[in-house]
Structure formats: C-alpha cells, structure tokens
Amino acid sequence: MFPDYRPRRLRKNENFRRMVRETSLSVNDLILPLFVTFGKNKKNEISSMPGQFQLSVDKLAEEAKEIHGLGIPAVILFGIPEHKDELGTDAYADNGIVQQAIREIKKTVPELMVITDVCLCEFTSHGHCGFIEKGDVDNDQTIDLLAREAVSHAKAGADMVAPSDMMDGRVAAIREALDEEGYDDIPIMAYSAKYSSAYYGPFREAAESTPQFGDRRSYQMDPANSDEALRETELDIAEGADIVMVKPALAYLDIIRRLKDEFDHPIAAYNVSGEYAMVKAAEKAGWIDGERVMMETLLSMKRAGADIILTYFAKDAARVLGR
C-alpha cells in the first residue's frame, strides 16, 4: 500500500514504460479492406471514408505493391459488380469482379495475402446477404450460393475466405465444398459474432450494398446480446472456422474479451467503416489528434484480446509503426 508501493515509479520514463508495457501493436496484426469496382482507370474516393477508394482492377497492382511495401501481410477484398441480380450471380462467376481482382493481385504481388469477403449483398439487386423468399433471406438456399462463391474465390487464387453473411451452417457448407474441390488447405476466417450495426453506414456507400427493403436484423446479431456471441462462435469453430471474428470492434470490446477467455482460436476484430469515419471526421474538424486516437483505438482491440485487426487505418498505422 501507499506510501510503500508507488505505481508511478514504473511510469517515470520511457524506458520503464517500455519494459512493463503489456500490449503491443504490430504491422503483422493488420488486414486492409479494399473495394474493387468494374471499369478502367477508376479511383473514386468514398466521401464518408476519406483516404479510402473504390479501385478498378487495373489500379490494383500499384496499390498492392504499396501495401506489401508497408509490410501489411494481407488485404480483404470487397467487389462492386457492374450488374447486380436477384441471385448475386457475379459473386460466384469465374470472371466476377472479385475473381478478377484476386488474379490481378496474385499475379503482381504474390507475397501479399488475399482474403475474400464471402457474402452476396454487394452482388444482389435487393442488397440483402442472400436469396430472398417471402420477403426474407432463405437460409439453406443461401448457403449453397455462399459455398459456390467461396470455391470460386479459391479457384481464382484466394489465400483465405471470410464468410460475413451470418447464415446458420454456412461455415460447414463452405468447408465441405472447399474440401471436395481440393482446397482443404484454404482456411476460413468466420465473421462469427457479427452484429446488426449502424456503424456499417459508410461501408454501404463504399460497397453500394444498402438493402433496398427492410434491414439485416433477421440474420445479424442483436447488439444487446453477449452470450449469443459465444454460442455463434462455438458453432463456427465446430463447423471448421480457423479464425473467428467480432464485428464491429470498438463498441464490442467486451465480446472480444469474452471470446479470448472462452476459446483458443485466433480472434480477429473488424474496426469497421463507421469507426474509421468518426475518427477522420473529428480529426478534420480539429477536435482530436487523429493519429493518436487511431493508435490508441487499435491498441485497445489488441488489449481486449484480438490477434488480428481488419482496419481501413492499416496503411496509416503501418507508417506510424515504421517510424
């Protein structure tokens, strides 16, 4: 007790602080999301996500080189197809927008790991994450399409697939389909505890995937629930998930910690579009030190128990970490 014990002794200078620091953030922890769009020579800035762009395939080589040069190990791809339809056909087409993007990156920078988001909302005319029947997403028909999508990504050269749809049983369906096609070495990073969140607002502008009717509450999780996140994660692990994810991250740090305590699989946290937009907006207004808030936020996710962070800040953070 005070005055014998004085915690400030170990905060006296930077060397003491370095010595007793419990958590660290590394460029190795980061995955950068990329939005790939149809057409040529496109680099459209996303207005609600300053510094993030929709890129056409021909712009990817240069981008991939820069990302790899910064030491970031992986990207996760989202696609904006030229044509959307009821069944999200472009999502599992051999020459779909994401399939083209995978081939382009693996051709130019093979060392950069390419992860794909496996979902249908960017590809369906109605903007929902699956096949619609009687006004709602039909679970079992959707998982067949998701399995086709995952196999199609693997065929194009993806290093890992990440289902983000929240259908029941999709991890097992994808695992089985990948194994049948000879892709038993391709891991699955499952969006296991994915909440129905207002923090996805800017992403829906970026990916042009806002639902045309209703919302996603019949498949994404209720923000009030925590025990349910454990059940969802347990199922995904049982079905074959190699990495489990919590999304969003910042408002769900307690969920990350519960998963960390409960399971021993690697945990990913998705620092989503709205979390990025808030920091950028407040920084622009001159209300916060954006760089310090960014680093503190990413560190909080590590401290909560995340091993991996998907973040639009990946390049900014890599530059800070490299100084």
Q: What phi and psi, each to the nearest 5 degrees, are found at residue 121?
A: -65, -30
Decide which of ligand PBG, Zn ion, none touches 203; Cβ closer than 5 to 8 Å per partner kind: ligand PBG
Give dist(CA 16, CA 227) in Å, integer: 39
Q: How far apart are CB 129 and Zn ion at their closest, in Å?
A: 3
Residue 192 binds ligand PBG (CB under 6 A): no
> Contacts by 55-61 with C-beta closer than 8 Å and gap 24+?
57/97, 57/100, 57/101, 57/104, 58/104, 60/34, 60/36, 60/101, 60/104, 60/105, 60/108, 61/104, 61/105, 61/107, 61/108, 61/109
Q: Which of residues 240-279 bind ligand PBG (CB under 6 A)?
A: 272-273
Q: Which residue has the tokens 């207005």?
A: 47
User: Is residue 151 within 8 Å of 186, Cβ to Cβ?
Assistant: no
Closer residue to Zn ion in complex, CB, 93/109: 93
Q: Annotated catalytic, 40?
A: no
Output 17 or 217, the one with its CB closest to ligand PBG.
217
With respect to Zn ion, which residue has the nearer C-beta, 25 or 166? 166
Q: Is 164 in the site for ligand PBG (CB under 6 A)?
A: yes
CB of 119 to Zn ion, least distance (A): 3
Is residue 149 involved in binding ligand PBG (CB under 6 A)? no
If the CB atoms of residues 128 and 302 are measured against Zn ion, the closer one turns out to be 128
| 56 interface partner picked from Zn ion, ligand PBG, none, CB below 5 to 8 A per type | none
Interface with ligand PBG includes 131 (CB under 6 A)? no
Contacted entry of ligand PBG, Zn ion, none for residue 273, CB cut-off 5 to 8 Å set by kind: ligand PBG
CB of residue 197 to ligand PBG, shortest distance in Å: 8
Q: Is the Cβ of residue 139 or residue 164 nearer to ligand PBG in the bound state?
A: 164
Taking phi over 0 as left and psi of -120 to 50 as alpha, with beta for the rest, 120 belongs to alpha
Q: Where does the chain have alpha helices with state H?
A: 14-20, 60-69, 97-108, 139-156, 170-180, 201-206, 227-239, 253-262, 273-284, 290-304, 314-321
Q: Which of 59, 84, 106, 247 is catalytic?
A: 247
121 binds ligand PBG (CB under 6 A): yes
Q: Is 194 tagged catalytic?
A: yes
Both tokens of residue 151? Answer: 């196999």
**Which of ligand PBG, Zn ion, none sits in contact with 117, Cβ below 5 to 8 A by type?**
ligand PBG
Q: How far is CA 13 from CA 16, 19, 22, in A?
A: 6, 10, 16
Binding site for ligand PBG (CB under 6 A): 117, 119, 121, 129, 164, 200, 203-204, 272-273
For the annotated catalytic residues, the residue numbers are: 194, 247
